[in-house]
């Protein structure tokens, strides 16, 4: 290092102190509780503050740090990468997509400015070159996740190609033993992309288009508001455990789809520009109260233990404000009883939270009397029904949850998937649950049932208008059904819950009219309380709206012939 004067020594010392402090705070994030709203916010605020100072400091004193400290571009990239991770984790804890945009801004700048491009040529201040290459690979993996969540699919494919090239360079030059691990990561990404592209929407030049499925004013179904519609969705717990479903970065396809469905489109003018940080925690006011959110607060749990699931459920339950509703979304393999079941809510099975049940190897004479530990049974949810609960279960044992009683007089709605699909649709299992696909994109689901793999955009756009027409009519009918006020009506005032419920009705009507589903009860969805049949699900106006869409897509052969009154 070149000779230093007093000012230069002070600048370098302050930079090193800020860098060390930022690392300590960042490493401490993993020890914070992932549940609750207040336990982690002050710590995040301090971390943002230090990274703000660090980033501005290296900008202001770049010449001295470059010449006298020999600051490397990969070190600047590491700071920017940590800031991107900060924003991403803040998005996960607040559900505000603007912070996802900020993570994207920092990750994009790292790539645009080639901060990691010269790591094999630069001195590494005591670190090995292979460690730095791993940092670069991990940055790419994180960037891909952010781009996936923002549906920037063209960029995702570019990043995957680059990551694949860098993995080959890394394993051939440094660590051949890591080839399998990174090959698995790349395989997961490619399988995820292939499975998510279940339907290609083509522009006028036959190029695939990316369609957002987040909530916007254009996709929010109308409703005639009433005083009974007094609930808003505040807390969401998304739990996934499907052994045969493709996943990436602890997100199954079902979790990925429902996550987008429960978010609004991010604002075009993000409140922070790339390479700037807020002076305090972004979503906090001076009194440490969260600002009003556009999106409900969400927890994402992939293969949790039952203990973890109950802790997060209890936290969401605790945080519910007056007139707030809790949504529990379950996409998991069913766990069935080993012997004939009684009507007890712990004898009929449930869904696996963490792993499939393993044979009892302890020699315990209690045998089948011992209940599976990592299984969510219907009875486990009873304590949480003291507040409004909206439950969605996409599982091959979904119907077991219809036995849950209403004990506390609070609004309770349970939407349950079909327990199976016809043989010709068995290949859908790795590509996500059918109910979840209907809740995410009803038009995509109809196309999948019709074995449509590509659709021109003009047909998609018109088809979406027919779907919207169906949802509007279903909303009108639902608010007029007698005797439904105590269960469904309170949830209809919330845009997200209304959208989910109306898309569920769309799914029910579509499958009842489908030739392969109609005559097999196990292939149809259910709800608790049951939705009225004659006044809603079998209404001529809904069937007519569905057949208009079916004719538009030229899928008449897949569905039963309409009755005369519909024609």
DSSP 493-525: TSHHHHHHHHHHHHHHHHHHHBTTTTT-GGGS-
Give the pair of three-digit tokens for residue 268: 């075009």
Using DSSP's 3-state secondary structure scheme, residue 208 falls into strand
Instruction: Check if the beta carbon of residue 501 is closer than 8 Å to that of residue 478.
Output: yes
Q: Are residues 191 and 270 in the same domain?
A: no
For residue 342, tell me if it sits in a domain. Answer: no
Confirm whether 565 is domain-assigned: no
308 with 239, same domain: the answer is yes
The arithmetic mean of pLDDT across residues 342-347, rounded, is: 67
Q: Assess whether pLDDT exceeds 70 at residue 359.
A: no
120-168 pLDDT per residue, tens:
655 445 456 778 888 999 999 999 999 999 999 999 999 999 999 999 8
Same domain as 36, residue 162: yes
Which pLDDT score is estimated for 474?
Answer: 96
pLDDT of residue 497: 97
165 and 245 housed in the same domain = no
Q: Give the pLDDT mean for 49-69.
A: 92
- Tokens 């027409």 found at: 469
Mean pLDDT of the chain: 87
Shared domain check, 261 and 177: no
Element (H, E) at 376: strand 375-376
Residue 219 inside a domain? The answer is no
Q: Where are the beta strands (DSSP E) in 286-348?
A: 297-302, 324-332, 334-335
For residues 83 and 165, state if they share a domain. yes
Domain identity same for 410 and 300: yes
Verify cis geometry, omega within 30 degrees of 0, for the bond prior to 529: yes
360 pLDDT above the threshold of 50: no
State both tokens at 391: 């439950």
If asked whether residues 118 and 265 sit together in one domain, one would say: no
Residue 19, pLDDT score: 94
Nearest to 541 by CA among 497, 459, 480, 464: 480
- Residue 275 has a pLDDT of 40
Rounded Cα gap, residues 132 and 123, in angstroms: 11
Q: What pLDDT does 399 receive?
A: 93
Instruction: Say whether both 263 and 180 belong to one domain.
Output: no
Is the model's pLDDT at 284 over the cut of 70? no
pLDDT reading at 340 higher than 60: no
Q: How far is CA 341 from the centre of its chain?
A: 34
CB-based contact 421:395 (threshold 8 Å): no
pLDDT at position 253 is 95
Specify if 566 maps to a domain: no
Q: Residue for token digits 């890394």?
A: 170
Model confidence band, residue 285 (pLDDT cutoffs 50, 70, 90): very low
Half-sphere exposure of 559 (CA within 13 A, CB side): 25
pLDDT at 2: 57
The reply to whether 188 and 242 lie within a common domain is: no
Domain extent, residue 105, equals: 6-209
With 90 as the cut, is the pLDDT of residue 96 above it? no
Q: CA separation (Å) from 259 to 298, 315, 440, 560?
A: 8, 19, 9, 33
Over range 206-221, report the average pLDDT.
91
Mean pLDDT of the 72-91 span? 92
Mean pLDDT value of segment 327-342: 82
The pLDDT assigned to 502 comes to 97
Do 202 and 264 belong together in one domain? no
Cα–Cα distance between 126 and 198 in angstroms, integer? Answer: 47
Nearest to 377 by CA among 421, 346, 331: 346
State residue 271's pLDDT score: 42
Burial of 210 (0-12, 13-18, 19+ CB in 10 A): exposed
DSSP letter string over 415-452?
EE--S---GGGGGGGGG--HHHHHHH-HHHHHHHHTT-
Total domain count, the chain: 2
How far is 423 from 261, CA to CA, in rounded Å? Answer: 28
pLDDT of residue 499: 97
Q: Which of 62-66, 98-102, 383-387 is modeled with the greatest confidence?
A: 383-387
Q: Does residue 193 form part of some domain?
A: yes
With respect to residue 363, please indicate whether it lies within any of the assigned structural domains: no
Q: Is the pLDDT of residue 283 over 70?
A: no
Sheet holding 350-352, edge to edge: 334-335, 350-352, 375-376
pTM score, whole prediction: 0.90
Q: DSSP readout, 98-130?
A: HHHHHHHHHHHHHHHTTTTTTTTTS--TT--HH
Any domain includes 567: no
pLDDT at 259 exceeding the cut of 70 = yes
Q: Residues 156, 148: contact at Cβ < 8 Å?
A: yes
User: Is residue 514 in some structural domain?
Assistant: yes
Confidence at residue 232, expressed as pLDDT on a 0 to 100 scale: 96
- For 182, list phi and psi in degrees, rounded to 5: -75, -30
**Quick one: pLDDT band at residue 277, thresholds 50, 70, 90?**
very low
Residue 343's pLDDT is 59
How high is the pLDDT of residue 365?
38
> Rounded distance, CA 83 to CA 102, Å?
9
Q: Which residue has the higher pLDDT, 58 or 4?
A: 58
- Domain check: are 275 and 306 in the same one? yes
Q: Look at residue 367 and tell me whether its pLDDT is greater than 80.
A: no
Element (DSSP H or E) covering residue 43? helix 41-60
- pLDDT bucket at 439, cuts 50 / 70 / 90: very high
Average pLDDT of the residues in 315-332: 95
Q: What confidence score (pLDDT) does residue 293 get? A: 60
For residue 323, give the CATH number of its domain: 3.40.50
Question: Which one has a higher pLDDT value, 357 or 539?
Answer: 539
Confidence class for position 383, pLDDT limits 50, 70, 90: very high
| Max mean pLDDT range (47-51, 340-344, 390-394) | 390-394
pLDDT in the model for residue 501: 97
């Amino acid at each position: 290092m070149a000779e230093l004067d007093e000012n230069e020594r002070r600048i370098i010392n302050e930079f090193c102190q800020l860098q060390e402090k930022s690392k300590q705070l960042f490493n401490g994030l993993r020890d914070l509780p992932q549940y609750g709203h207040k336990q982690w916010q002050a710590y995040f605020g301090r971390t943002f503050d230090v990274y703000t100072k660090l980033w501005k400091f290296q900008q202001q004193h770049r010449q001295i740090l470059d010449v006298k400290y020999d600051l490397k571009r990969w070190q600047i990239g590491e700071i920017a990468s940590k800031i991107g991770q900060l924003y991403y984790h803040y998005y996960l804890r607040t559900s505000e997509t603007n912070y996802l945009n900020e993570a994207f801004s920092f990750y994009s700048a790292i790539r645009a400015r080639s901060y990691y491009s010269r790591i094999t040529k630069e001195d590494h201040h005591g670190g090995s070159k292979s460690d730095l290459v791993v940092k670069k690979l991990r940055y790419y993996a994180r960037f891909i996740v952010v781009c996936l969540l923002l549906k920037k699919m063209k960029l995702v494919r570019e990043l995957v190609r680059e990551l694949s090239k860098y993995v080959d360079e890394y394993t051939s030059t440094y660590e051949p033993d890591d080839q399998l691990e990174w090959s698995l990561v790349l395989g997961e990404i490619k399988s995820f992309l292939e499975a998510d592209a279940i339907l290609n929407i083509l522009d006028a030049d036959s190029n695939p288009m990316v369609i957002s499925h987040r909530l916007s004013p254009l996709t929010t179904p109308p409703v005639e508001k009433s005083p009974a519609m007094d609930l808003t969705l505040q807390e969401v717990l998304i739990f996934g455990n499907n052994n045969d479903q493709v996943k990436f970065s602890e997100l199954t396809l079902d979790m990925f789809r429902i996550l987008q469905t429960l978010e609004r489109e991010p604002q075009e003018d993000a409140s922070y520009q790339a390479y700037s940080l807020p002076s305090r925690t972004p979503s906090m006011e001076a009194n440490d109260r969260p600002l009003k959110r556009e999106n409900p607060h969400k927890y994402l749990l992939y293969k949790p233990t039952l203990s973890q699931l109950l802790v997060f459920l209890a936290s969401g339950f605790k945080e519910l404000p007056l007139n707030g509703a809790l949504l529990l979304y379950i996409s998991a393999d069913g766990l069935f009883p080993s012997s004939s079941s009684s009507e007890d809510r712990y004898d009929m099975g449930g869904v696996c939270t963490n792993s499939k049940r393993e044979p009892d190897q302890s020699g315990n004479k209690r045998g089948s009397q011992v209940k599976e530990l990592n299984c969510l049974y219907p009875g486990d949810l009873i304590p949480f029904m003291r507040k409004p609960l909206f439950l969605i279960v996409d599982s091959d044992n979904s119907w077991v949850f219809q036995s849950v009683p209403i004990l506390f007089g609070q609004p309770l709605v349970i939407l349950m998937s079909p327990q199976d699909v016809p043989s010709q649709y068995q290949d859908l299992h790795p590509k996500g649950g059918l109910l979840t696909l209907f809740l995410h994109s009803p038009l995509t689901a109809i196309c999948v049932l019709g074995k449509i793999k590509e659709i021109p955009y003009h047909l998609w756009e018109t088809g979406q208008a027919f779907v919207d027409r169906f949802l509007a009519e279903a909303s009108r009918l639902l608010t007029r059904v007698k005797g439904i006020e105590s269960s469904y009506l309170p949830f209809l005032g919330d845009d997200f819950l209304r959208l989910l419920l109306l898309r569920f009705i769309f799914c029910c009507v579509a499958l009842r009219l489908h030739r392969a589903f109609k005559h097999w009860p196990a292939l149809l969805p259910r709800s608790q309380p049951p939705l009225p049949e004659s006044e809603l699900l079998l209404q001529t106006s809904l069937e007519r709206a569905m057949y208009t869409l079916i004719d538009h897509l030229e899928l008449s052969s897949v569905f039963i012939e309409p009755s005369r009154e519909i024609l």
